[in-house]
A and B are shown apart, each in its own frame.
Chain A
């Protein structure tokens, strides 16, 4: 597990609103959980309006990433370690 900016991520949503990212995770991810602002994921403290929805699809983690000038991006990164760490929090749909 490394810093998000150094990992091979894919962008699912670009320059979206925070609510759009949460809605996408809740609708499209097979499993998801909620974390609090400041939760550490890929060595970054997550920025967000609670509840912050994080999705899991196998070992792929789907999460929002906010930059001040660019809005919120919904990213996906495959990482078994982070996926395992989130598993106890998961909700099944």
Chain B
């Protein structure tokens, strides 16, 4: 990836819902191909899941612990032009709202999934592009919506 690549941030939630892992790897591949330098932020478990899934680092680039990442956003040390936040819980939504506030100029896509996705999405009142589905195990519908949002649909 060239040093002048556009920066993107994937803000990952707790890894307990399986679709997150698949969609994170999918977005890493797609965004890299689109010319983004992508950083993943998450708790240690979610970052280890990604590292183990990609031993030859075809997809994963820099990864940072999520609280450190929020600190870097607050201090202006990290200013991605695109942020994709994953939320399947109140905590995920809270991290997403924080990142949105700290990145007012960025394009901000919020992926809301899991059994409570619809109720959770209603609580996301901050400006963002929402992709919502009650998916837990099957990422197909979310992937299709992501393709539409980023104009990747064939």
A contacts, CB < 8 Å to B = 17-19, 36-38, 40, 44-45, 47-50, 66-72
Which residues of A have CB within 8 Å of B45? Answer: 69
- Let me know if B94 and A48 touch, CB within 8 A: yes
Q: Which residues of B contact A (CB under 8 A)?
A: 13-14, 16, 42-43, 45-46, 66-67, 70-71, 73-74, 89-95, 97-98, 101-102, 123, 126
Contact A66 B74 (CB under 8 A): no
From residue A2, how far is it (CB to closest CB) to chain B in Å? 16
* Complex alpha-carbon distance, A5 and B66, angstroms: 16
Can you give 5 A-B contacts (C-beta < 8 A)? A37-B98, A49-B97, A66-B91, A69-B43, A72-B94
Beta-carbon contact of A49 and B43 below 8 Å: no
B16, A38: Cβ atoms under 8 Å? no
B16–A69 touching, CB < 8 Å: yes
Residue from A19, A50, A70 in contact with B91 in the complex, judged by beta carbons closer than 8 Å: A70
A residues in contact with B98, CB < 8 Å = 37-38, 47-49
Chain B: minimal CB distance from A90 (Å): 22
B43 touches A66 (CB 8 A): no
Among B13, B46, B66, B94, the residue within 8 A (CB) of A18 is B94
B101–A68 CB distance below 8 A: no
